[in-house]
Structure 1
Amino acid sequence: MKPMLNFPETSRFSRDWSAYYQAIAGRPPRETLRKALALFDEEMSPQMPRLAVDLGCGDGRDTVELVRREWQVLAIDGNEEAIAKLRDRNDFNPLLLESMVMQFESLALPRSVDLINSSFALPFCLPQDFPNLWKKITASLRHGGRFCGQLFGDRDSWATVYPNMTHYSRAQVEPLLQPFDVKHFEEEEHPDQTPLGEPRYWHIFHIVACKK
């Protein structure tokens, strides 16, 4: 049984994004992205650059890694500050980057994408909008293209604190992955804290999957 943690009573997710970006500054790209890129590296090299969408890119923790590897990247985030921070960075080739400020409910994605990366971002989609968002992600990927990222589980403490976020049980996640050949699936669950030092019980699904 997970421990009881004390959180503010609220039904709407709010965040000090400036403090969050400062707290994670300098951290390496997510492990799920590194795993997906390693799988691409095993393939015969196509004409570069490949096309990736970094969905919920934040200040560019994963985006910059993709650009450094000479991927063409469309970086999307609903937070204008995040995109501004990404654009202010000077450690990548800006000619390989396109960026957009766009919310999940109005998201438009290109076709025949090689990789869609969404690190800890998809759960911020409203539950009623998530099924359509996932359809867009699946349709956007080419056959053999990959998705990597995270979904939050139903036992995560934020599932009750923030009901306007999307949290799924494992039984709900597995059907989402039917159009994919799953290369990596890890269910993580433990008490800890957020990068801002807030107590949290984490229940996360880490996913790397290839579209059939």
Structure 2
Amino acid sequence: MTPSTHPTAEHNWTTYYQAVAGRPPRETLLKALANFDGEASPDRRRLAIDLGCGDGRDTVELLRRGWQVLAIDGEQNAFDRLLDRPDLNHDLLQTQLMRFEALALPPAVDLINASFCLPFCPPAYFPHFWETIVTSLNIGGQFCGQLFGDRDSWTIYPNRTHHTRQQVEELLQPFEVEWLDEEEHLGVTAIGEEKHWHIFHIVARKKA
């Protein structure tokens, strides 16, 4: 097998960052932010966690809207690119280099954004990883991001996590689901590799 098809291959993040440079924020993030726009502003600055922040396509949008942001990624190259962006508001940004297997989050978070990064948490660590996300959110706080389905072609990789529709719905039991869109189609990755996509796009609000 070639490195790009071997079941234990690591994702080529440097090539990915180059391929997605300059792209706009994810739709899931914009939907979550629109929900906050309809609420009364709190008497403090809202806090967002951007998990798997990459080169900052979502981080920059959160900062532009005046959010305090903790950007987390497991790749130093992500922060090298993020901190070099000319459109970055450094005053409201903190960064933390951290693998998902050891994820620790502050309490009282208003928004956790996880654009296409959750499947890269190895299955053995995912239950604790997800519980950390749920626990850190305020009541009424929102989660937005993606999970990969069980028919996605990347299920051949044992170090990536995939879910059935039923499992996704079970994960979302602590939430009021604002948007859940299941997408399945043949396509290509950001770096041009053919792929069968099976994705759940999620925006959800933590229940009391």
TM-score (norm 1): 0.94
Shift of 1:193: 0.3
2:189 is equivalent to residue 201 of structure 1: no
Verify the 8 A CA contact 1:123 1:167 in the aligned structure 2: yes
Equivalent position of 2:155 in the other structure: 159
The 3-state SS of whatever aligns with 1:168 is coil
- For residues 147-171 of structure 1, the C-alpha deviation after alignment (integer angstroms, 9 at most, x for no partner) is 00000000000112x1210001101
- Inter-partner Cα distance in structure 2 for 1:117 and 1:21: 18
Alignment size in residue pairs: 206
Q: How does 1:48-197 map to 2 (within 5 A)?
A: 48-160=44-156, 162-197=157-192
Superposition RMSD in Å: 1.4
Shift of 1:10: 1.9
- Inter-partner Cα distance in structure 1 for 2:176 and 2:9: 33
Verify the 8 A CA contact 1:48 1:71 in the aligned structure 2: no
1:40 maps to a residue whose letter is F
- For residues 106-127 of structure 1, the C-alpha deviation after alignment (integer angstroms, 9 at most, x for no partner) is 1110001000000000000000
- Inter-partner Cα distance in structure 2 for 1:148 and 1:141: 12
- Deviating above 4 A after TM superposition, structure 1's stretches of 4 or more consecutive aligned residues are 6-9
- Inter-partner Cα distance in structure 1 for 2:72 and 2:4: 29
Verify the 8 A CA contact 1:78 1:103 in the aligned structure 2: yes
1:78 maps to a residue whose letter is G
TM-score (norm 2): 0.96
Question: Tell me, which stretches of 5 or more residues in structure 2 are unaligned?
Answer: none
Question: Tell me, which stretches of 5 or more residues in structure 1 are unaligned?
Answer: 1-5
